[in-house]
A and B are shown apart, each in its own frame.
Chain A
Amino acid sequence: MSETATSRLAIGARLEEVRRACDFVVEAAERAGLDERAIYHCQMAVDEALTNVIEHGYGFRDEGNTIELSCQATADRFVIIIEDDSPAFNPLTHEAPDPTEPLDSREPGGWGIYFIRKLMDDVRYERIGNRNRLTLVKHIPALAGARGSAPADATLFPTRDLDSQTAIVMPSGRLDSNNSPQLERTLEAQLSSGKTWLFVDMADVEYIASSGLKVLVAAWRRARDQHGDVILSGLQPRLVEIFETVGFDMLFHVYPDLDSALAARPAKR
Chain B
Amino acid sequence: MVMEINVSEMRRVQLFEVIGRVDSTNATELGTAMDRAVDDGKSNLVLDLSGVEYMSSAGLREMVRILKRVKRVGGDLRIANPSERVREVLELAGLDSVFEIYPTQVEAVGSF
Is there an interface contact between A210 and B96, defined as CB atoms closer than 8 Å? yes
In the complex, how many residues of chain A place their beta carbon closer than 8 angstroms to a beta carbon of chain B? Answer: 37
Residue of B65, B67, B85, B91 touching A209 (CB-CB under 8 A): B91
Contact yes or no, B91 A47, CB < 8 A: no
A188 to B25 Cα, complex, angstroms: 45
Does B33 sit within 8 A of A, measured CB to CB? no
Among B23, B24, B57, B67, the residue within 8 A (CB) of A115 is B57
Is the CB of A245 closer than 8 A to any CB of chain B? yes
Q: Which residue of B lies closest to A55 (CB)?
A: B24
Q: Complex: how many Å from CA A86 to CA B97?
A: 37
Chain A residue at minimum C-beta to C-beta distance from B25: A15
Does B89 touch A at the CB level, under 8 Å? Answer: yes
Contact B94 A18 (CB under 8 A): no
Contact residues of A between 45 and 63, Cβ < 8 Å to B? 47-48, 51, 55
Kindly state whether residue A106 has any CB partner on chain B within 8 Å: yes
Which B37-82 residues have a C-beta within 8 angstroms of A?
A: 54, 56-58, 60-61, 64-65, 67-68
B23 x A19 contact (CB < 8 A): yes
A108 to B24 Cα, complex, angstroms: 13
Inter-subunit contact B24/A100 (CB<8 Å)? no
For the residues of A in contact with B, the DSSP-based class is: helix
Does A40 lie within 8 Å of B54, measured CB to CB? yes
Q: What residues on A are CB-neighbors of B96 within 8 Å?
A: 209-210
Kindly state the separation between the CA atoms of A104 and B68 in the bound complex, as whole angstroms.
Answer: 8
Q: Knowing A18-B23, A37-B85, A115-B89 touch, does A106 contact B64 (C-beta < 8 A)?
A: yes
Cβ of B93 within 8 Å of any chain A Cβ, yes or no, is yes
Instruction: Kindly state the interface size class of chain B when it binds its partner.
Output: 20 to 34
State whether B94 touches A99 (Cβ < 8 A).
yes
A51 engages B91 (CB within 8 Å): no
Given the complex, which residues of B lie within 8 Å of A209, measured CB to CB? Answer: 91, 96-97
Knowing A16-B25, A115-B89, A177-B91 touch, does A242 contact B97 (C-beta < 8 A)? yes
Across the interface, A207 reaches (CB within 8 A) one of B61, B85, B94, namely: B94
Q: Does B92 contact A (CB under 8 A)?
A: yes
The reply to whether A111 and B24 form a contact with Cβ atoms under 8 Å apart is no
CB distance from A157 to the nearest CB of B (A): 19
Most buried by A among B24, B61, B84, B85: B24
Judged by a CB distance under 8 angstroms, whether B2 is at the interface is: yes
Q: Which one, B24, B68, B93, B98, contacts A18 given CB within 8 A?
A: B24
A176–B58 CB distance below 8 A = no
When C-beta atoms are compared, the residue in chain B nearest to A39 turns out to be B85
CB distance B91 to A176 under 8 Å? yes
Q: Is the CB of B65 within 8 A of A245?
A: no
> A108, A112, A207 — which one has the most chain B CB atoms within 10 A of its CB?
A108
Q: Which residue of A lies closest to B99 (CB)?
A: A103
Q: Is A103 within 8 A of B56, CB to CB?
A: no
Among B84, B92, B95, chain A packs the most CB atoms within 10 A around the CB of: B92
10 contacts between A and B (CB under 8 A): A18-B23, A22-B23, A44-B54, A99-B93, A99-B95, A101-B94, A103-B68, A106-B64, A119-B92, A209-B91
Instruction: Report the 8 A-B pairs with minimum CB-CB distance, sorted nearest first.
Output: A99-B94, A111-B57, A209-B91, A176-B91, A51-B24, A47-B56, A40-B85, A108-B61
